Amino acid sequence: MHPLPEPASLPSLLLSSGGWRPEWGRTRAGGMSRAGGMRPPWNQERAPEERLPSATEPGRQWSMVRRMLTAGLLFSLLLGFSLLLVYIFRSCGPGPCMTPVCWDLLARYLASGNTSVAPCTDFFNFACGQAKGTDYSFQALAEENKKRLRRILEAPGSWHLGSGEEKAFQFYSSCMDTDAIEAAGAAPLRQVIEELGGWRISGNWTSLDFNRTLRLLMSQYGYFPFFRAYLRPRPTPPYTPVIQIDQPEFDVPLKQEKEQKIYAQIVREYLTYLNQLGTLLGGEPNKVQEHAFLSISITSQLFQFLRPLEQRRAQGKLFQMVTIDQLQEMAPAIDWLSCLQATFTPMPLSPSQLLLVHDLEYLKNMSQLVEEQLSIHRDFLQSHMILGLVRTLSPALDSKFQEARRSLIQKLGELTERPPMPARPRWMKCVEETGTFFEPTLATLFVREAFSPSTQSAAMELFTAIKNALVSRLRRIPWMDEKTRKEAQNRVTQLQVKMGAPEWALKPSLARQEYNDVGPCPCQLLISPQLLLSPLTRLSGRQSVHPGRSLTNPFLALIQLGPSYLQSFLSCVRSLRARIVQSFLQSFPYHRWQVSPWGVNAYYSIPDHVVVFPAGLLQPPFFHPGYPRAVNFGAAGSIMAHELLHIFYQLLLPGGCPACDTRALQGALLCLKHHYETIPLPNGTFFNGSRTFLENAADIGGLAIALQAYSKRLLWHRGETILPNLDLSPQQLFFRSYAQVMCREPGTQEPQDPHSPPTLRVHGPLSNTPAFARYFHCPHGALMNPSSRCQLW
């Protein structure tokens, strides 16, 4: 198609075709003559007057051409502007993240979610409906971190000889060497029992002083049969280290329950378990039965002395400060000074040393029970303590002991209607033990691989955005008075943040420390047949090679030398306790971390006013520098904001903020409590949130703060991305990533968990957020778009 001629070229076009000329017949008004109309330009033999054009037709043509040109010009401008807008929106709008980490995250979301569920009706199932077992996000992340440690520990030749790295690798290897552990059997444990004086069920028993045995159990084996003793900072200023005495940890609920039948079954199963332990250690069946039954009786009586934490809190007796002398008078059966001195060497102790006791009444009753048993059943008391030690050491023993333990846990779970615990692979147990005993070494190796400087920088940038959003939000909290508001803002700005790993974990020298007090681990020696003629045999302890036998392997013989795995385990127990005591004796210029760098639990420390986010938490699927910002803000950002709100827990307790608007604060808290009580659980019941209201408040506030920080980031930054093929906008992806953090099976929650069930941790905060209903287009009155909402933070 040829373009239309411009208006200025129209006369020349007519001239070139022999048509109208400009000098032909114009009127004075400048128009065309009407005489004779206008003849065809190719008819040249007409009279001049006949060849004059009409005064109206050319004007009409000119007007038509002009209108056509104007319309074409406008159309071209509109088309170009539209194309420009499309280009702008395509280049500035959210594009799909196509990196491998985003595809992995997409696969996780698709595997756990159930998109057939309407998000406005049940967002928990929309995000987590297919999550089963280890798909629970925190648990899955913790296991992934352990897999990374496993890869580190199994990497050949990656350690420095003679260093802590080498000992950590050797310990892990010996833990994984189940053939050697099976070959040793119960022999290493029998040796331990002999060192403690033996017990009557095996026919070899020396009546020793009760406190001597207790002292050995506490100091050499890390076992506390009647109480727990540990070093911790004081719960009140000045937060100096102090020895704390607490109730023991019982793994079997031997307390009279409402259902007598269930209690009898629990006692029966526990009796069967103790009988198995005694039999595996060579005890006579009749004596084993008798001693096991009395041990259950002692445990049951100790259990009756326990008082729940809620009861002690209500009575204002969470802890008491007493001297060792005072405790000796109130609980005289225990030689407190000698037992504590042996346990916390080289810490100097004296009778005037202050202790922090968590339940003094329990210790008094425990002491009276021990005195009664010493007067009539001294040998039974010895058996009770040894059976308890065997329980704690069973993970370091052969499969017979471990199978007996697993069977007990499974049957107790069935009786108490707890979900069965999945079987854990051997490598995971060995990784956990190696991490416990060699944390300084593994911390350095883990951070080096999993938390690069760029990751730390991106995480710190996210935290700064969250902290700024909280400071801004504090200005609009209606129940705060001006003085409290300023103090709260100062608390946030003065807060220290520890991210990734403690300072000492970043020093390579600590990763290579020698652990001189850790004994040698079991080692293997390859011997040529010329030096030794024996079968390919694993030997341990005092066993010897039988001479005169031919080699099944013509080249090498493999022999187990050195101490057993149990002995190495106990050596590490003593080394760890000594390091802990030594660290408390030294001045510590920075915060003592309460979680390993590969852990997944963030926390706020009141004494040090520090918030801690370990490297193990700031990993996929919660955080990655290459994720869409919506994911990082919705998952890791909401966790960060949740922990920051722990700073203000005290304000929410009765009398915690006397200058605040009490009526407005209590109204917001009652609204929050009612809000959670009206959200149904999957089984149709409702949850009493009085025990979890502090965590509920942090969940709701954490989500609101993270959303505010993300919205500000969207306003000032371009280049936002989304996950491909998920059909979620950035804001919808933000809420989806928040819910992903909470994914787990609803029935897997521990009874003492301070958090609400997972469905409430999703539905409670999201239904209280107007933006959620707006971005997901939820109809008014739907579960996720209620008629009223609460404003606490």
d(CA 632, CA 461): 11
CB atoms near residue 176 (< 10 Å):
20
Residue 471 tokens, joined? 């400071």
Q: Which residues pair with 357 in a beta bridge?
A: 245, 320
Among 45-59, 128-142, 290-304, 599-613, the least confident range: 45-59
d(CA 792, CA 13): 80
Q: Which residues pair with 96 in a beta bridge?
A: 722
- The predicted pLDDT at position 220 comes to 94
Note whether 385 and 312 are same-domain residues.
yes
Q: Give the CA distances from residue 721 to residues 457, 502, 623, 718, 764, in Å, rounded to whole numbers and listed in that order.
A: 20, 33, 15, 9, 27
Q: Considering the domain boundaries, does residue 594 fall inside one?
A: no
CB atoms near residue 544 (< 10 Å):
7
Question: Which amino acid is residue 754, in one-letter code?
Answer: P
Q: Which residues pair with 232 in a beta bridge?
A: 242
Note whether 62 and 124 are same-domain residues.
no
Pair 220, 570: CB distance under 8 Å = yes
Pair 575, 460: CB distance under 8 Å = no
pLDDT over threshold 80, residue 475: yes
Pair 40, 33: CB distance under 8 Å = no
Question: Helical H runs in 717-793?
Answer: 730-741, 758-767, 770-775
Among 524-533, 567-576, 593-602, 613-622, the least confident range: 524-533
pLDDT over threshold 60, residue 527: no
pLDDT over threshold 60, residue 91: no
Q: Rounded to 5 degrees, what are φ and ψ at 214?
A: -60, -40
Q: Euclidean distance between the first and final Cα of the chain, in Å?
A: 67
Note whether 685 and 706 are same-domain residues.
yes
Q: What is the pLDDT of residues 24-66, one digit of tens each?
A: 333 333 443 333 443 443 333 444 444 444 445 556 666 776 7
d(CA 599, CA 286): 46
pLDDT over threshold 80, residue 22: no
d(CA 228, CA 362): 12
- The predicted pLDDT at position 207 comes to 74
- The predicted pLDDT at position 754 comes to 85
Q: 742 in the Ramachandran plot: left (φ > 0), alpha (ψ -120 to 50) or beta?
A: alpha
Note whether 340 and 382 are same-domain residues.
yes
Q: What angle do CA 40, 45, 48 make, to 5 degrees?
A: 80
d(CA 278, CA 747): 35
Q: 562 in the Ramachandran plot: left (φ > 0), alpha (ψ -120 to 50) or beta?
A: left
Question: Helical H runs in 19-156?
Answer: 57-92, 100-112, 123-128, 137-153
d(CA 516, CA 519): 8
Q: What is the pLDDT of residues 296-323, one digit of tens each?
A: 999 999 999 988 777 777 777 788 999 9
pLDDT band at 424 (very low <50, low <70, confident <90, very high): confident
Pair 193, 223: CB distance under 8 Å = no
Q: Is 159 helix (H, G, I), strand (E, B) or coil?
A: coil
Mean pLDDT score of the chain: 82
Residue 630 tokens, joined? 């919506």
Note whether 124 and 219 are same-domain residues.
no
238-244 average pLDDT score: 89
What are the residues whose beta carbons fall under 8 Å from the beta carbon of 264, sequence distance 6 or more? none
Choice between 16 and 273, residue whose per-residue pLDDT is larger: 273
pLDDT over threshold 80, residue 285: yes
Q: What is the pLDDT of residues 328-383, one digit of tens each?
A: 999 999 999 999 999 999 999 999 999 999 999 999 999 999 999 999 888 889 89
The DSSP bridge pattern shows strands 523-527 and 557-561 to be antiparallel
The DSSP bridge pattern shows strands 320-323 and 354-357 to be antiparallel
DSSP 552-577: SSSS-EEEEESS-HHHHHHHHHHHHH
Q: Give the CA distances from residue 6 to residues 12, 13, 65, 364, 397, in Å, rounded to whole numbers and listed in that order.
A: 11, 10, 9, 110, 99
Q: Considering the domain boundaries, does residue 614 fall inside one?
A: no
Among 44-48, 387-391, 504-508, the least confident range: 44-48
Note whether 760 and 633 are same-domain residues.
yes
Pair 211, 334: CB distance under 8 Å = yes
The DSSP bridge pattern shows strands 95-96 and 721-722 to be parallel
Q: Rounded to 5 degrees, what are φ and ψ at 596?
A: -70, 155
Domain containing residue 770: CATH number: 3.40.390.10
Among 243-257, 430-444, 550-564, the least confident range: 550-564
Domain end: 30, 65, 92, which one?
92
- The predicted pLDDT at position 355 comes to 97
Domain limits for position 28: 7-92
**Closest to 412 in 3D by CA, of 517, 507, 271:** 271
Note whether 304 and 401 are same-domain residues.
yes
Note whether 280 and 368 are same-domain residues.
yes
Pair 178, 399: CB distance under 8 Å = yes
Letter string b/e over residues 44-72, b meaning 16 or more CB atoms within 10 A of that residue's CB: eeeeeeebbbbbeebeeeeeeeeeeeeee
Residue 490 tokens, joined? 């100062």
d(CA 456, CA 684): 43
Helices and strands, counts by H and E, the chain:
31, 13
Q: Which residues pair with 560 in a beta bridge?
A: 524
- The predicted pLDDT at position 38 comes to 39
Residue 266 tokens, joined? 């629990």
Q: Considering the domain boundaries, does residue 441 fall inside one?
A: no
Question: Which amino acid is residue 55, in one-letter code?
Answer: A
Question: Which amino acid is residue 244, in one-letter code?
Answer: Q
Note whether 198 and 329 are same-domain residues.
yes
- Please compute Rg for the chain using Cα positions: 39
Q: Considering the domain boundaries, does residue 788 fall inside one?
A: no
Chain centre to alpha carbon of residue 557: 46
Q: Give the CA distances from residue 203 to residues 190, 198, 200, 430, 707, in Å, rounded to whole numbers and listed in that order.
A: 13, 9, 5, 35, 69
Q: Considering the domain boundaries, does residue 581 fall inside one?
A: no
HSE-CB for 150 with a 13 A CA cutoff: 16
Q: What is the pLDDT of residues 320-333, one digit of tens each?
A: 999 999 999 999 99
Q: Considering the domain boundaries, does residue 501 fall inside one?
A: no
121-131 average pLDDT score: 90
pLDDT band at 466 (very low <50, low <70, confident <90, very high): very high
Domain containing residue 405: CATH number: 1.10.1380.10
- The predicted pLDDT at position 558 comes to 35
Q: Which residues pair with 425 in a beta bridge?
A: none
**Closest to 562 in 3D by CA, of 173, 10, 214:** 173
Note whether 759 and 681 are same-domain residues.
yes
Choice between 762 and 23, residue whose per-residue pLDDT is larger: 762
DSSP 258-313: S-HHHHHHHHHHHHHHHHHHHHHTT--HHHHHHHHHHHHHHHHHHHHH---HHHHH
pLDDT over threshold 90, residue 723: yes
Active centre residues (catalytic): 643, 699
DSSP structural state of residue 53: P
- The predicted pLDDT at position 135 comes to 56
Domain end: 381, 407, 426, which one?
426
Q: Considering the domain boundaries, does residue 554 fall inside one?
A: no
Tokens 């209280």 belong to 768
- Alpha-carbon dihedral angle through residues 718, 724, 728, 730, given to the nearest 10 degrees: -20
Domain end: 426, 444, 479, which one?
426
- The predicted pLDDT at position 529 comes to 31
What are the residues whose beta carbons fall under 8 Å from the beta carbon of 285, sequence distance 6 or more? 275, 279
Q: Which residues pair with 498 in a beta bridge?
A: 612
Structural domains of the chain, count = 3
Note whether 296 and 418 are same-domain residues.
yes
Question: Helical H runs in 655-754?
Answer: 662-677, 693-716, 730-741
Tokens 């040529």 belong to 528
- The predicted pLDDT at position 546 comes to 31
Note whether 721 and 740 are same-domain residues.
yes
Q: Give the CA distances from residue 783 to residues 68, 676, 734, in Å, rounded to whole numbers and listed in that order.
A: 58, 12, 19
- The predicted pLDDT at position 233 comes to 86
Pair 351, 322: CB distance under 8 Å = no
Q: Considering the domain boundaries, does residue 158 fall inside one?
A: no
- The predicted pLDDT at position 552 comes to 32
Pair 564, 586: CB distance under 8 Å = no
Choice between 20 and 738, residue whose per-residue pLDDT is larger: 738
